[in-house]
């Protein structure tokens, strides 16, 4: 019969090592699939699509007068394909160039309001302010408005938008 | 008959003795009403678990449907409005009384040696309950839920180095999607309640282990000098937990439960409109317990400073709260004999109330 731990100190050490090893093995074996489930989003590729926004000539843009145009992205998210309705803020600059902003505040992502009387975008959450060209003019936002990745069609009038921001190093969601 | 059943159990496991031991714990006498908050919180948590389980009979954690499921529960299920109302107002009440409980413990110096770990266990419970509140707010699936998810995950993304990963893991991807709701649901319904269920016994065990120590007023007639640690082991008078303290606990629980019930029936749980991602004039609002932090986010402009409001101040604040027993290691317990701690505590509470009040004011843009 094997000695009990009380009779032999080395036997006690052996038992403790075995207990520790068994716990470690079971722990690691469980942790691997759990970590896989938790960290899965980091390994997934984002579904990027081009979506038609519409014709610029239909918008009757006036300089520095933002127009909110909805865009509907059909993207795969997890196990389902969903429609993500988003606002594209189209701004015609004085020189005629077009800017395609997101209406999400660059501070923490609240939906911006365009206040025509003040010629500013205001954030209802923490008081961020942007001017019509997307520059921060007050409040906590750390950077100018996000711009959608966009391209013009062959007719130089139809605009396509990607569900992605330009210059978005931290990969903030749209 | 009852006696026979009791005997049957006693012969085998000595049940009566176990119960007597648990119920017979001596509790300091004078501050009886001030010691009811802990039991009250245990009671409120039980109510949350019970109502929460039955809310699950109807709830669906899927973004466009979640809000309608909640709406159905409130308007079409018999007494569903009461069930939902109790869960909501119970949560608010719980967070409120945790703050009261913490303030009571802080001002009476009850976190001092040998009770340091009890404070730490309590802080774990506090943090988890606040996150439970926030995730619950997200699960309603209305407009505020959507923006709360976005804002809070963006706040988390300002954590140094790993912020972006935290946001992506929490959301289950870069967008707020079906997976986001599923994750929040799992966290709110399984993960965090289990942490609470584990830490409540630890919290209770530690109280029982460190013995009956009360507030300074329990030792008014004590002959042992104030520097002696033994002084805090002998209150002037004690009563058994059952029924003396339990009786007070029950009265407080009943009063609070009655308030929750009245609020549930007559105010109910506001559900709000369905999430409209294209709405142009929606101003998201946070729950009342988050308003102080929300207000903090308005200061600290620009790239370099944003980390102060999103990460540094909240985490340092929480860190200090966690470590209070290790920072303040003096033996003095009476709030009047340690003015620095008392004044700091009062100032902190006033700051919290002030930030909450101005954080709750209507925000400028919507009214311009």
Rounded-to-integer distance, Cα B42 and Cα A110, Å = 36
pLDDT at B368 over 60: no
Task: Calculate how close chain A gets to B24, using CA atoms only, in Å.
Answer: 37
Question: Across the beta sheet with A80-92, what order do the strands follow?
Answer: A67-77, A80-92, A98-102
Q: What is the mean pLDDT of residues A33-62?
A: 91
Q: Would you call B150 and A109 a contact, using CB atoms and an 8 Å cutoff?
A: yes
Judge whether B172 lies within some domain. yes
Average pLDDT of the residues of chain B? 90
Residue range B69-76: mean pLDDT, rounded: 95
Identify the pLDDT of residue B362: 56
Q: Is A124 helix (H, G, I), strand (E, B) or coil?
A: coil
Q: Which of B150, B278, B297 faces A87 most closely, judged by CB atoms?
A: B278
Closest-CA distance of chain B to residue A85, Å: 6
Does residue B135 have a pLDDT over 50? yes
Can you list the positions of beta strands (E) in A25-156?
50-55, 67-77, 80-92, 98-102, 113-115, 120-122, 129-130, 136-138, 148-152
ipTM of the complex: 0.89
What confidence tier does B175 reach under pLDDT thresholds 50, 70, 90? confident
Q: Please tell me the distance from the alpha carbon of residue B165 to that of residue B159, in angstroms, as a whole number.
A: 10
Distance CA A73, CA B171 (A): 18
pLDDT in tens, B152-165: 999 999 898 898 89
pLDDT at residue B66 in the model? 92
Residue A1 has pLDDT above 80, yes or no: no
Hey, are the CB atoms on B365 and A117 less than 8 Å from each other?
no
Do the domain assignments include residue B58?
Answer: yes
Smallest Cβ–Cβ distance between A78 and the set B151, B172, B282 belongs to B172
A50-165 falls under which CATH superfamily? Rieske [2Fe-2S] iron-sulphur domain (2.102.10.10)
Higher local confidence (pLDDT), B186 or B113: B186
Q: Do A77 and B363 touch (CB under 8 A)?
A: no
- In angstroms, the CA A44 to CA B174 distance is 10
Domain CATH for B182? 1.20.810.10
Is residue B349 one of the residues assigned to a domain?
A: no
Q: Is residue B264 part of a domain?
A: yes
Average pLDDT over residues B27-49: 93
Using DSSP's 3-state secondary structure scheme, residue A36 falls into helix
B368/A115 Cβ within 8 A: yes
**Average confidence (pLDDT) over B233-258:** 92
Residues B108-127 have a mean pLDDT of 93
Q: How many domains does chain B have?
A: 1
Q: What is the pLDDT of residue B367?
A: 42
Q: What is the pTM of this model?
A: 0.92
Q: What is the pLDDT of residue B365?
A: 44
Q: What is the rounded distance in angstroms from the CA atom of residue A105 to the CA atom of residue A121?
A: 9
* Cβ distance of A68 and B164 shorter than 8 Å: no
Is there a contact between B366 and A113 if contact means CB atoms under 8 Å apart? yes
Dihedral (C-alpha) B93, B94, B100, B104: value to the nearest 10 degrees?
Answer: 150
Question: Which structural domain range is residue B329 located in?
Answer: 36-212+257-276+319-333
pLDDT at B366: 43
Judged by phi (left if over 0) then psi (alpha if -120 to 50, else beta), residue A140 lies in alpha
Asked if A62 contacts A92 with a C-beta cutoff of 8 angstroms, the reply is yes
Whether A70 has a pLDDT exceeding 70, the answer reads yes
The token duo for A167 is 């210059």
With CB atoms and an 8 Å threshold, state whether B365 touches A113.
Answer: yes
**Chain B contacts of A165, Cβ < 8 Å?**
none
Question: Dihedral sign, CA of B49, B51, B55, B57?
Answer: positive
Q: Which pLDDT score, from 0 to 100, does residue B363 have?
A: 57
Q: Which long-range contacts (CB under 8 A, 24 or more apart) does B116-124 make?
A: B116/B325, B116/B326, B117/B206, B118/B203, B118/B206, B118/B207, B118/B210, B119/B324, B119/B325, B120/B322, B120/B325, B121/B199, B121/B202, B121/B203, B121/B206, B122/B203, B123/B318, B123/B321, B123/B322, B124/B195, B124/B199
- Alpha-carbon gap: B172 to the closest alpha carbon of chain A (Å): 5
- Return the pLDDT at B266: 96
Would you state the pLDDT for residue B226? Answer: 74
Structural domain includes residue B91: yes
Residue B123 domain-assigned (yes or no): yes
From A43's Cα to the closest Cα of chain B, the distance in A is 9
Contacts of B88-92 spanning 24+ positions with Cβ under 8 A: B88/B136, B88/B264, B88/B269, B89/B260, B89/B263, B89/B264, B89/B267, B89/B269, B90/B44, B90/B47, B90/B48, B90/B51, B90/B260, B91/B48, B91/B132, B91/B133, B91/B136, B92/B133, B92/B287, B92/B288, B92/B289
Of A86, A118, A172, the CB nearest to B154: A172
Q: Is the predicted pLDDT of residue A168 greater than 60, yes or no? A: yes
Q: How many residues does chain B have?
A: 368
Least confident range from A156-170, B186-200, B299-313, B324-338: namely B299-313
Model confidence over A109-118: pLDDT tens digits?
A: 999 999 998 8
């Amino acid at each position: 019969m094997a000695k009990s731990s009380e009779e032999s100190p080395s036997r006690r050490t052996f038992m403790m090592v075995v207990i520790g090893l068994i716990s470690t093995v079971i722990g690691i074996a469980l942790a691997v699939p759990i970590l896989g489930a938790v960290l899965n989003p980091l390994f997934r590729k984002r579904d990027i699509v081009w979506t038609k926004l519409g014709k610029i000539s239909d918008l009757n843009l006036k300089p520095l007068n933002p127009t909110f145009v909805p865009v509907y992205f059909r993207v795969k998210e997890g196990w389902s394909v969903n429609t993500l309705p988003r606002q594209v803020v189209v701004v015609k600059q004085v020189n005629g160039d077009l800017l395609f902003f997101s209406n999400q505040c660059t501070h923490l992502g609240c939906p911006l309001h365009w206040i025509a009387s003040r010629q500013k975008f205001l954030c209802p959450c923490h008081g961020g302010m942007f001017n019509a060209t997307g520059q921060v003019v007050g409040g906590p936002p750390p950077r100018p408005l996000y711009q959608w990745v966009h391209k013009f069609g062959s007719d130089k009038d139809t605009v396509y938008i990607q569900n992605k921001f330009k210059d978005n190093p931290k990969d903030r969601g749209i | 008959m009852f006696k026979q059943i009791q005997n049957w159990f006693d012969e085998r496991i000595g049940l009566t003795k176990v119960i007597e031991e648990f119920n017979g714990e001596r509790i300091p006498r004078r501050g009886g009403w001030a010691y009811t908050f802990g039991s009250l919180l245990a009671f409120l948590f039980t109510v949350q678990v019970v109502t929460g389980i039955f809310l699950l009979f109807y709830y669906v954690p899927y973004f466009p449907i979640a809000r309608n499921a909640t709406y159905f529960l409130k308007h079409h299920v018999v007494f569903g409005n009461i069930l939902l109302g109790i869960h909501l107002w119970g949560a608010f009440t719980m967070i409120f009384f945790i703050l009261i409980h913490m303030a009571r413990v802080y001002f009476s110096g009850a976190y001092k040696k040998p009770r340091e770990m009890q404070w730490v266990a309590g802080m774990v419970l506090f943090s988890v309950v606040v996150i439970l509140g926030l995730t619950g707010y997200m699960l309603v699936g209305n407009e505020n839920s959507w923006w709360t998810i976005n804002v809070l995950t963006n706040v988390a993304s300002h954590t140094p180095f790993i912020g972006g990963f935290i946001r992506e893991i929490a959301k289950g991807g870069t967008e707020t999607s079906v997976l986001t709701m599923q994750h929040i649901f799992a966290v709110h319904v399984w993960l965090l309640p289990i942490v609470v269920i584990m830490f409540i016994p630890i919290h209770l065990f530690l109280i029982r282990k460190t013995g009956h120590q009360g507030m300074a007023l329990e030792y008014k007639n004590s002959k042992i000098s104030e520097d002696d640690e033994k002084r805090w082991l002998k209150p002037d008078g004690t009563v058994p937990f059952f029924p003396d303290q339990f009786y007070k606990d029950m009265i407080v629980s009943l009063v609070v439960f009655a308030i929750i019930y009245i609020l549930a029936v007559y105010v109910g749980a506001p559900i709000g409109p369905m999430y409209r991602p294209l709405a142009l004039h929606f101003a998201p609002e946070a729950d009342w317990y988050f308003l102080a932090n929300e207000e903090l986010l308005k200061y600290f402009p620009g790239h370099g400073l944003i980390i102060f409001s999103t990460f540094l101040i909240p985490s340092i604040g929480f860190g200090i709260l966690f470590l209070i027993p290790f920072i303040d290691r003096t033996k003095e317990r009476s709030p009047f004999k340690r003015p620095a701690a008392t004044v700091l505590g009062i100032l902190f509470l006033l700051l919290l109330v002030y930030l909450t009040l101005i954080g709750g004011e209507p925000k400028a843009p919507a009214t311009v």
